[in-house]
Structure 1
Amino acid sequence: MTSVYTQWFIVLISLLSVLPIVEAVEDGDAIALLLGVVFSITGICACLGVYARKRNGQI
């Protein structure tokens, strides 16, 4: 299984390779999109962690 850092790197490179194709996307929009993706994934992982702890009776 590949490491988490390798998977994040692949996702980041794929997003960065797609963004320059669209001419309407400026630097600020690209940064906002990447931050939104990172915060969304972090939030989903946090919610899954809380759910797993509740399910195991640790909380």
Structure 2
Amino acid sequence: MTSVPAQLLLVLLSLLLGLPAVEAVEAGDAIALFLGVVLSITGICACLGVYARKRNGEV
């Protein structure tokens, strides 16, 4: 089984490689999608960090 970062990288690469096949998607759309994915992953990691600190009593 592959690690979580490797799985995330595979998902991101598959999304980015699939974008040029759709002609209606422009560079701005690809950048917006990439930023959305990055910000979503960052937000999930931040929430997990807050949850872990609360669980360990490190508030």
TM-score bracket, shorter-length normalisation: 0.7 to 0.9
For structure 2, the residue ranges without an aligned partner over 5 or more in a row are: none
TM-score (norm: length of structure 1): 0.80
Report the equivalent of 1:53: 53
Report the equivalent of 2:41: 41
State how many pairs are aligned. Answer: 58
For structure 1, the residue ranges without an aligned partner over 5 or more in a row are: none
TM-score (norm: length of structure 2): 0.80
Percent of aligned pairs with the same amino acid = 76
Is 1:27 aligned to 2:27, yes or no? yes
